[in-house]
Amino acid sequence: MAKKDRSFAAKIAKAGVVDKIPKCPTCGTPIQTVFLVRPVQSERGHYRFKHNVTKLCKCNRPALGL
C-alpha cells in the first residue's frame, strides 16, 4: 500500500521538479539565489559597491536586511 501512496511523489521526483528547488535543511524554505549590491566602506573612507550572489532562505534573510 505504501508503494501506491508514493507513486505520485516518485513521478514528480523522476520528472525533476522537486530536485530543481533546493530547500534549506534548517528552516525548510526553498532557497532563492539573489543578486545583492551592497556598499562597502574602504579604509580610506569612500564607498565601493560589492556585487554578491547569495543564497537566500529564512535563516539568513534578517542578516541580509531583507
Cβ nearer to Zn ion, comparing 15 with 64 = 64
Cβ nearer to Zn ion, comparing 25 with 39 = 25
Distance CA 12, CA 29 (A): 19
The C-alpha cell at 61 is 534573510
**In this structure, what are the phi and psi dihedrals at residue 15, rounded to the nearest 5 degrees?**
-75, -15
Distance CA 37, CA 40 (A): 9
Identify residues 7-66 at the interface with Zn ion (CB under 5 A).
24, 26-27, 57, 59
CB of 31 to Zn ion, least distance (A): 7
Residues in contact with Zn ion, counted by CB under 5 A, come to a total of 5
Binding stretches for Zn ion (CB under 5 A): 24, 26-27, 57, 59
